[in-house]
């Protein structure tokens, strides 16, 4: 595959749309991000990295961190997690309270906010430090030894996180939190605040594209668990736009309100797109256009 030619096609298709959408201004630290930025990166399982655009500009990983948090929990063969969170698409916004109340504090899936809070809570219980567990993983997989939490974004998450608190306390009222709520939320907010570049995100995504093999060749995840993660990315990774992404892109994708999108072609490559402007569902406008163009140019699909 001539990835550089593919990326040129992607950039040409995406360029007229750069700057479209709205940044996630409900998180103060993201409100001032320049929306007229875009980066695209492909990391292959053979060790190649192809990039274009603003691929070295750090951004907040936000909800894409949920993929790696889930991987860390599943790596411990902690099947008890699936008694605390389901594996179904939500069909509602990622921070919906009504569905959580109706379903007695059991989130629909691990990629919406309440489900990710449960995963962070479980990872904290399993490791004693969920943030350090993710920091170590991301540093190793990206090759960046200083990759860290952005303290400004973390503080913004903390100050603007009342709805997440409401969900966590609601789950606690149903007995679905293991740690003190504020402690679990502190780890969750900081988990979402790691600063990562587009190129680094593509390299980190290879953990899933390689079916659970780490950058050093050791196995973190059973192949079956990596398959489960990609299945959930396909059905739940872009919130209530997952059906449209499956229809248009045909690849497992996880989005974050920092503007990042991570897609996986199992056994072949991981693809990262970053454009800060979001659509009404919380997904990057330019990232969605770029992934659609990538799928069209390569013919890659899991379907």
Summarised one tens digit per residue, pLDDT across range 75-94 is 998 778 999 999 999 877 88
Residue whose C-alpha is closest to residue 235's, from 163, 171, 303: 303
Which residues does the chain have with pLDDT short of 50? none
Residue 175 is predicted with a pLDDT of 97
Show Cβ contacts of residue 79 under 8 Å, excluding neighbours closer than 6 positions: none
Instruction: Give the integer Cα–Cα distance in Å for 99 and 73.
Output: 24
Q: Are 204 and 141 in contact (CB under 8 A)?
A: yes
In DSSP terms, which residues pair with 149 in a beta bridge? 194
Instruction: Give the integer Cα–Cα distance in Å for 3 and 267.
Output: 16
Residue 78 is predicted with a pLDDT of 73
What strands lie across the sheet with 39-44, from one edge to the other?
Answer: 49-53, 39-44, 269-274, 260-265, 253-255
Q: Which residue has tokens 């320049």?
A: 34
Q: What is the pLDDT of residues 144-166, one digit of tens each?
A: 999 999 999 999 998 888 999 99
Residue 69 is predicted with a pLDDT of 98
Residue 240 is predicted with a pLDDT of 87
Instruction: Give the integer Cα–Cα distance in Å for 284 and 272.
Output: 11
Show Cβ contacts of residue 167 under 8 Å, excluding neighbours closer than 6 positions: 95, 97, 100, 113, 114, 117
* Residues 28/33/35/39 CA torsion (nearest 10 deg): -130
* Helix H or strand E segment including 265: strand 260-265
Q: Work out the mean pLDDT of the chain and round it to a whole number.
A: 96
């Amino acid at each position: 595959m001539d990835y550089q030619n593919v990326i040129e096609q992607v950039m040409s298709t995406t360029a007229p749309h750069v700057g479209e959408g709205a940044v996630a201004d409900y998180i103060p630290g993201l409100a001032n991000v320049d929306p007229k930025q875009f980066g695209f990166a492909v990391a292959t399982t053979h060790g190649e990295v192809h990039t274009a655009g603003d691929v070295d500009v750090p951004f907040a990983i936000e909800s894409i961190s949920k993929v790696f948090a889930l991987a860390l929990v599943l790596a411990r063969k902690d099947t008890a997690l699936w008694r605390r969170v389901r594996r179904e698409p939500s069909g509602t916004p990622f921070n919906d309270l009504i569905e959580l109340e109706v379903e007695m504090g059991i989130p629909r899936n691990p990629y919406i906010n309440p489900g990710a809070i449960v995963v962070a809570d479980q990872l904290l219980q399993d490791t004693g430090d969920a943030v350090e567990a993710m920091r170590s993983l991301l540093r190793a997989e990206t090759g960046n030894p200083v990759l860290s939490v952005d303290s400004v974004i973390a503080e913004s998450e903390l100050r603007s996180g009342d709805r997440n608190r409401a969900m966590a306390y609601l789950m606690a009222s149903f007995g679905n939190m293991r740690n003190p709520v504020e402690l679990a939320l502190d780890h969750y907010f900081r988990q979402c605040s790691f600063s990562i570049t587009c190129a680094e995100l593509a390299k980190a995504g290879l953990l899933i594209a390689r079916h659970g093999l780490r950058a050093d060749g050791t196995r973190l995840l059973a192949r079956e668990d990596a398959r489960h993660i990609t299945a959930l990315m396909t059905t739940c990774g872009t919130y209530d736009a997952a059906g449209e992404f499956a229809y248009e892109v045909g690849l497992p994708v996880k989005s974050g309100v920092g503007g990042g999108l991570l897609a996986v072609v199992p056994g072949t490559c991981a693809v990262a797109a970053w454009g800060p402007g979001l659509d009404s569902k919380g997904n990057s406008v330019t990232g969605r256009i770029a992934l659609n163009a990538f799928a069209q140019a390569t013919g890659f699909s899991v379907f």
